[in-house]
Amino acid sequence: MKNTTLRARRSAASAESYSLSKAKAYLGRLLAKSEAGVTVYIVRGHKRFLVQPVPEIEPSPMRPAGYFQFDEEDIKLDRKFAATNVVPRPDAE
């Protein structure tokens, strides 16, 4: 019986659950805990939501002018399909 109590204490120490109303009031603190590595759950009814930091996404590099070179065949295809890509304007009533 002591082992289950100790196990329950360990899991309670590594993860914390907060009701939605408490989470609203202390969101900044919960985010700080999440950044520190503590597993934070927000509970709404019978559902739990995990709060965790997301790694930053590297931005797409800018292409220099002239990066995309089009030859005559590409230009012909573009002109050919341009007319089919136009959405007609609905009649104003």
Number of domains in the chain: 1
- Give the domain CATH number at 26: 3.40.1620
Question: Does residue 18 form part of some domain?
Answer: yes
Q: Give Cα separations from 22 to 1, 3, 38, 50 (angstroms).
A: 32, 31, 17, 15
Round to whole Å and give the CA distance between 9 and 27.
Answer: 24
- Pairing relationship of beta strands 39-44 and 47-51 according to DSSP bridges: antiparallel
Contact 48, 42 (CB under 8 A): yes
Round to whole Å and give the CA distance between 41 and 47.
Answer: 10
Structural domain harbouring 27: 13-51
- pTM of this structure: 0.49
Question: Does residue 46 form part of some domain?
Answer: yes
pLDDT tens, residue by residue, 22-78 = 999 999 999 999 999 999 999 999 999 999 999 999 888 888 887 888 888 988 888
